[in-house]
């Protein structure tokens, strides 16, 4: 019984992290109007969270493994909850964006630590598999719930409550976690943190997003410089975030490239649709949430079918089909929105599951946990880039065409995958994002 309660607590934390990655989309127009964001600056409400989350995800998981998962998990909840209150209290754009950075930091600790605690709580075998099945379901429900709940909350009580609602949940999580969770850590691993690598890659992402949205060449140059610094740091670090041996696998690299493409498409398209549908006043937040939930439902179907097909025909066929549907769905959204959402969602699910299988199966068994963390990071970083790129394109139709082009590039990459067949479906469930 204690294990079930533990799973409930950890699953709730995961649910909140996934929820906050989608619930904001529905509220963006209201936030932009209320805080008077200049130009396309409101996209930073999304980007700040995704960049911080993606940049610090690997470091957050490693810190928890070495310093104690229970202790670090509690700190993550406290930071996330406090940042949520700051978000809900913000009266200036800079304050809200800064609070979203803190929220992303808390999420980067909560998500991988919660999954790690699930793995150490349940013994390998049937019980752990059941727990992971529940975990995967929570991810899908959380993504859909964010789109569904964001509309009613924004329309009835205002956008601030999409953040303030995290306060009672966070307090309950802190109390329950302190009572239920046992401490655990990896005593055999070297006590070293690649903080410089995490700072370099996060700074590079921030400058890259800034350079894209502001058309700033100095920011882009700074991003390239920090990325180069990150590579040098990783080659020399005692405990690198991304060991060089891992990136030598073509399958792993291609899988992560496809996850980057999937993240770029889904977050970029959601942003474009949210701003287009509501800015013109053609749809209420509630209507938009219900409409886009169809995309999430289709992605779940695409993921389940894709997983089954991978074991029969291999990863490449599913990846090619998924990215092709992503491209077709993006184009269809310009003229047939209802059809486009379903096609896009199905392609997202298929592309995501095939890319994730490729990314994880491309690593040695001892590196499977690391490969899973890199996969999560790729999807989150893709989301940040999608928001940055598509927010700068003038016109909804043009932005959706750009999304189709990105998906087409993913299609080219998918053709380079081998015909490897997965024997056990998805070997990893995302730590903090859901397709």
435 lies in some domain? no
Asked if the structure places residue 372 within a domain, the reply is: yes
pTM of the model: 0.84
Per-residue pLDDT reduced to its tens digit, 216-250 = 888 999 999 999 999 898 888 877 888 877 777 88
**Is residue 275 a contact partner of residue 28, using CB atoms and an 8 Å limit?**
yes
Same domain, 111 and 127: yes
- 161, 41: one domain: yes
Does some domain include residue 377? yes
State the CATH number of the domain containing residue 7: 1.20.1250.20
- pLDDT of res. 419: 59
Report how far residue 370's alpha carbon sits from residue 293's, in angstroms, rounded to the nearest whole number: 31
Please indicate, yes or no, if residue 345 is contained in any of the structural domains: yes
Instruction: Tally Cβ neighbours within 10 Å of residue 235.
Output: 10
Closest CA to 150 of 268, 13, 293: 293
For residue range 402-423, list pLDDT tens digits in order. Answer: 999 999 999 999 998 865 555 4
Sign of the CA dihedral running 47, 218, 376, 104? negative
Residues 6+ apart with CB under 8 A from 17: 80, 107, 110, 111, 142, 432
pLDDT confidence bin for 35, thresholds 50/70/90: very high
409 lies in the same domain as 346: yes
Q: For 434, phi and psi rounded to 5 degrees?
A: -130, 140
Count of other CB atoms within 10 angstroms of residue 182:
11
- Mention every residue, 6+ apart, whose C-beta is less than 8 A from residue 336: none
- Is the distance from CB of 249 to CB of 418 less than 8 angstroms? no
Residue 376, both tokens: 């999560």
Together in a domain, 302 and 380:
yes
Compute the distance between CA of residue 128 and CA of residue 278 in angstroms, rounded to an integer: 43
Percent of the chain whose pLDDT exceeds 70? 89
Whether 204 and 177 share a structural domain:
no
Residue 203 structural domain:
196-237
Instruction: Pick 195 or 320 by higher pLDDT.
Output: 320
Residues 278 and 188 in one domain: no
């Amino acid at each position: 019984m204690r294990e079930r309660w533990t799973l409930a607590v950890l699953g709730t934390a995961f649910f909140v992290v996934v929820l906050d990655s989608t619930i904001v989309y529905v509220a963006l127009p209201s936030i932009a109007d209320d805080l008077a964001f200049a130009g396309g600056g409101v996209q930073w409400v999304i980007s700040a969270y995704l960049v911080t989350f993606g940049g610090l995800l690997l470091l957050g998981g490693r810190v928890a493994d070495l310093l104690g998962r229970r202790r670090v998990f509690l700190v993550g909840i406290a930071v996330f909850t406090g940042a949520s209150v700051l978000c809900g209290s913000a009266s200036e754009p800079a304050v809200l964006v800064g609070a979203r950075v803190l929220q992303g930091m808390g999420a980067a600790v909560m998500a991988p630590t919660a999954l790690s605690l699930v793995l150490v709580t349940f013994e390998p075998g049937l019980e752990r598999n059941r727990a992971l099945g529940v975990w995967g379901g929570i991810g899908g429900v959380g993504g859909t719930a964010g789109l569904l709940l964001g509309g009613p909350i924004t329309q009835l009580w205002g956008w601030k409550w999409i953040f303030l609602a995290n306060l009672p949940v966070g307090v309950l999580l802190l109390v329950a976690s302190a009572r239920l969770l046992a401490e655990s850590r990896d005593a055999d691993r070297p006590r070293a943190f690649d903080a410089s690598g995490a700072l370099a890659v996060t700074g590079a992402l921030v400058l890259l997003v800034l350079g894209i949205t502001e058309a700033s060449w100095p920011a882009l140059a700074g991003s390239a410089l920090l990325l180069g610094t990150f590579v040098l740091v990783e080659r020399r670090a005692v405990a690198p975030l991304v060991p060089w041996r891992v990136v030598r696998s073509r399958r792993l690299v291609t899988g992560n490239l496809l996850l980057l493409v999937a993240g770029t498409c889904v977050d970029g398209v959601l942003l474009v649709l949210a701003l287009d549908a509501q800015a013109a006043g053609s749809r209420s937040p509630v209507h938009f949430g219900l409409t886009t939930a169809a995309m999430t439902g289709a992605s779940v179907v695409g993921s389940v079918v894709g997983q089954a097909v991978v074991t029969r025909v291999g990863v490449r066929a599913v990846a090619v089909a998924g990215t092709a549907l992503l491209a077709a769905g993006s184009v269809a959204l310009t003229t047939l929105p209802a059809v486009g959402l379903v096609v896009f969602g199905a392609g997202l699910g298929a592309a995501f599951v095939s890319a994730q299988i490729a990314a994880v199966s491309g690593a040695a068994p001892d590196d499977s946990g690391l490969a899973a963390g890199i996969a999560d990071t790729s999807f989150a970083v893709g989301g940040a880039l999608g928001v940055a790129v598509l927010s700068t394109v003038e016109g909804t139709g043009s932005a959706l065409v750009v999304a189709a082009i990105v998906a087409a590039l993913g299609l080219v990459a998918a053709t380079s995958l081998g015909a490897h067949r997965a024997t056990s479906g998805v070997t990893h469930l995302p730590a903090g994002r859901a397709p």
